[in-house]
Amino acid sequence: MNARNLILFLLVFAPLVLGPGVHPALSASGSTTFQYLVGTGFLCGLGTGACPDIARADNGDTLEITGSGTLSIHPKSVGGGGTFTQKDSGGNVLASGTWTAQRLISFVPYLVLPNNLAGGKALIRVHLSTGSDAILDIDCAIGAPPGQTEGVTLNIQDVINFNKKVSGINIYIKQ
């Protein structure tokens, strides 16, 4: 089963098969912690295109990114990091390094399955080892509203915006 088919299964068929054990987004009032995986770990075994996550900028540059960490809501907190590689449209490496999660801007969980795998959208302020700060958008499409797609974007403010999701798989795991 390729990665896109797995996501389709989780979105369409898992709620029907699993029934009442599947619950939508969590209550906004309770404290909840999630582990997040961005194009790494067991996700890489789900098929070609699963790892790393790739996003593209309007000028054709691409960003390959992987990482992991934890985030909590009420109170908001985040930790973790990973690696990135920026390439030009010809595939030449322009920059590479690490990223570190600095601040959780927002997290919206979509659906939590009985095995604690969850969909959601996180906006995280990150610091890149190249000296820039950026906003990392991590989307896992399990239970996502229409129009929301799997992948990441990274906006290095006033530098470059990798705003087109190309490939990759992400997951949140409720702790």
* pLDDT tens digits along 161-171: 999 999 999 99
125 pLDDT above the threshold of 70: yes
**Residue 23, domain member (yes or no):** no
Report the run of H or E that residue 15 belongs to, with start and end: helix 14-18
Supply the mean pLDDT for the chain.
88
Mean pLDDT of 117-141: 97
> At 23, is the secondary structure helix, strand, or coil?
strand
Instruction: Check residue 88 and give its pLDDT.
Output: 98
Domain presence at residue 24: no
The torsion angles phi and psi of 118, rounded to 5 degrees, stand at: -140, 155
* Position 25 pLDDT exceeds 60: no
Predicted local confidence at residue 18, as pLDDT: 43
In which domain, by residue range, is 59 found? 3-17+30-174
User: Does residue 25 lie within any of the structural domains?
Assistant: no
Residue 77 located in a structural domain: yes
Question: How would residue 83 be classed by pLDDT, with cut points 50, 70 and 90?
Answer: very high
3-class SS of residue 114 = coil
Domain count, the chain: 1
Mean pLDDT of 78-103: 98
What is the C-alpha to C-alpha distance for residues 99 and 93, in angstroms, rounded to an integer? 17
User: 3-class DSSP state for residue 166?
Assistant: strand
pLDDT band (50, 70, 90) for residue 138 = very high
**pLDDT value at residue 133:** 97
Domain for residue 108, yes or no?
A: yes
Is position 115 within any domain?
yes
pTM of the entire predicted model: 0.85
Contact (Cβ atoms closer than 8 angstroms) between residue 58 and residue 161: yes
Residue 17's region, left for phi above 0, alpha for psi from -120 to 50, else beta, is alpha
Answer whether residue 22 is part of any domain: no
User: Are the beta carbons of 78 and 71 closer than 8 angstroms?
Assistant: yes
In a domain, 85, yes or no: yes
Confidence of residue 29 (pLDDT cuts 50, 70, 90): low
Residue 12 has pLDDT above 80, yes or no: no
Could you give the C-alpha distances from 74 to 27, 119, 170, in angstroms and in order? 11, 18, 22
